[in-house]
Structure 1
C-alpha cells in the first residue's frame, strides 16, 4: 500500500456562490466514504490567514515561505491505497465533489514512517 496526496490549489476552485453548500456536502461525503473504507490518512485545507514561517536549522524564524517557491494553498487529502488505479479513482471522486481537477502524487516509501 502506498500513500497518495490528492490536492488542488485555491485558485482552481471556482464555484458559483450558490453552489458552495453542495460542494461542502459532497466533499465531506467523499471523505466520509474514504474513512469508512479505511483508506483515509488525513486531509484539510491550508489556513491562508496564517502566514507561513521559514524556520532555519539554528531555530531562527522569518515570516514567509521560500521566496522562490509558489505559495502553498488549497486543499489536501492523503489516502493509503493499494494501487495507482485506486488513487486515480479516488482523485476523480474528490474532483467531482470539489468541482475542480485534483493533482495526484505518490509518497516515496519510507519504512520509518
Structure 2
C-alpha cells in the first residue's frame, strides 16, 4: 500500500468565523472514518505562530526556510491506501468537509523503512 499526503494551504480555507466549527466537525468526522477504515497514518496543521528554522548537519540553527517552501502552511493528512483512486476518494471527502480543494501526492516507496 502507498502512503498519500492530502493537504491544503491555509489561504484556501475561506470561511465566515461562525462556520469554522461546522467545518472542523465535518473534517474530524472524515478523520474518524479514516481511522475506522484503518487507513489513517497522521494528520494535523502547521502551527503558523511558530516560525520555521533550518538545522544544518553541524547543528547550527538558522531562522527561515528554503526559499521554495516559504509558504508551507495549512492542513495535512497522511493516509495509507491500496490505490491512487482510493486516495482521491478520501481527498474528495476532505474537500467536501473542509470546503476547499485538496492536493494529493504519493510518498515514494522506501524498502529500507
What's the TM-score once normalised by structure 1's chain length? Answer: 0.96
CA separation in 2, counterparts of 1:7 and 1:55? 24
CA separation in 1, counterparts of 2:112 and 2:19? 42
Deviation at 1:84, TM superposition (A): 0.6
CA separation in 1, counterparts of 2:105 and 2:96? 18
Tell me the residue number matched to 2:65.
65
Deviation at 1:66, TM superposition (A): 1.3
Deviation at 1:67, TM superposition (A): 3.1
Deviation at 1:105, TM superposition (A): 0.3
What's the TM-score once normalised by structure 2's chain length? Answer: 0.96
Which stretch has the larger CA shift, 14-23 or 60-69? 60-69
CA separation in 2, counterparts of 1:90 and 1:73? 20
Deviations 1:12-44 (A, max 9, x none): 110122211110110000000000100000010
Unpaired segments of 5 or more residues in structure 1? Answer: none
Q: CA RMSD in A?
A: 0.9
Deviation at 1:72, TM superposition (A): 0.7
CA separation in 1, counterparts of 2:95 and 2:67? 30
Q: What SS is found at the alignment partner of 2:44? A: strand
Tell me the residue number matched to 2:76.
76
Tell me the residue number matched to 2:92.
92
Runs of 4+ in structure 1 displaced over 2 angstroms? 67-70
Q: What SS is found at the alignment partner of 2:67? A: coil
- Count of aligned pairs between the two proteins: 113
